[in-house]
Amino acid sequence: MSGPHISRTIADLRTELKGWRQQGLSVAMVPTMGALHEGHLSLMREALSRADRCIVSIFVNPTQFAPTEDLDKYPRQLEHDIERLREVGVHLAFTPSPDEVYPKGFATKIIVGGPSAGLETDFRPHFFEGVATVVTKLFQQATPDCAVFGEKDYQQLCVVRQMCRDLDIPVEIVGAPTVRDEHGLAMSSRNAYLDEAQLAIARRLNVILRGASAAISGGADPAAETASASLALLDAGFKTIDYVAARECGSLGPWRPETEGRLLAAAWLGSTRLIDNVEIAARS
């Protein structure tokens, strides 16, 4: 199987897209920052099942990193990533430079309200502004019919959906289930930072969240249960807990017993920050 076409510029991307559109082909997109793992590949397979052509962007977006965060050490392995795209059957890799995406004089930002409030924003106030801006640009550049995002980054998924609704961006946003290892740990590029002892601790995250979710849907007080889950994570070996929170699906407002929800968490292991979430069933 031949590898994907590689577009490094917006002009080349649009030239390829023009040919596809002239043939009447549908297009799906998977935005990524590279360092691809099985979780990413599952998004690509979903995209390929929904459209004639699949574009994967590989771009470590500087605007979603704060000065104190890991932009410089974020894993970059483009040759390996392109090989993974070839294995899955992706048609085009869009691999722009930062200057291509943010040329000199770039001064526009996209700010999304609603589901962006709280959770990640309490600790990374710059984050969703950077995500919303780059995703808007990618959608303008690639004009996909649909785009696939992982449910692991659940708040991000909700923010992108809100943005597309509010700005009338004609892209169907598809949420794909979180892919986990055999121990239940959500696949993440940042897992590569963890040593064996830390991995053993990290695998407790989903176990503790699932227990708390079951308790909440079964009648336990959400505030008490999220506080208990935070203590359980600290006891398991996590360094600090940014949040454990029960929220409604979609809006990410406070969870109500009659609604489907999500239990979301962010916690630190050493210098590595992990996030995860699990469903909360509505009380019957």
Q: Check whether 71 is labelled as a binding-site residue.
A: no
Q: Check whether 1 is labelled as a binding-site residue.
A: no
The domains of the chain are located at 5-176, 189-278
Which of 283, 284, 236, 240 shows the shortest CA–CA distance to 265?
Answer: 240
Which pLDDT belongs to residue 70? 75
Q: Which of 70-84 are b and which e, b meaning 16 or more Cβ less than 10 Å from the residue's Cβ?
A: eeeebbeeeeebbeb
CA distance 237 to 5: 44
Q: Check whether 46 is labelled as a binding-site residue.
A: no
Q: Check whether 187 is labelled as a binding-site residue.
A: yes
Q: Check whether 76 is labelled as a binding-site residue.
A: no
Enter the CATH code of domain 5-176: 3.40.50.620
Q: Check whether 200 is labelled as a binding-site residue.
A: no
Q: Check whether 244 is labelled as a binding-site residue.
A: no
CA 74 to chain centre: 15
CA distance 275 to 198: 15
Q: Is 0.85 topped by the overall pTM?
A: yes
Which pLDDT belongs to residue 40? 97
Pairing outcome for strands 146-150 and 27-32: parallel
Cβ-based neighbours of 284, under 8 Å, separated by 6 or more? none
Tens-level pLDDT at each residue, the chain (284 residues): 688 999 999 999 999 999 999 999 999 999 999 999 999 999 999 999 999 999 999 999 999 998 878 788 888 999 999 999 999 999 999 999 999 999 999 999 999 999 999 999 999 999 999 999 999 999 999 999 999 999 999 999 999 999 999 999 999 999 999 999 999 999 998 898 999 999 999 999 999 999 999 999 999 999 999 999 999 999 999 999 999 999 999 999 999 999 999 999 999 999 999 999 999 999 98
CATH 3.30.1300.10 fits 189-278, yes or no: yes
Which pLDDT belongs to residue 1? 61
Q: Which two tokens stand for residue 168?
A: 């009338």
Cβ-defined contacts of 204-208 (< 8 Å, 24+): 204/233, 204/236, 204/237, 205/233, 205/236, 205/238, 205/265, 205/267, 205/274, 205/276, 206/180, 206/276, 206/278, 208/232, 208/233, 208/236
Residues with catalytic annotation? Answer: 40
Pairing outcome for strands 27-32 and 5-7: unpaired
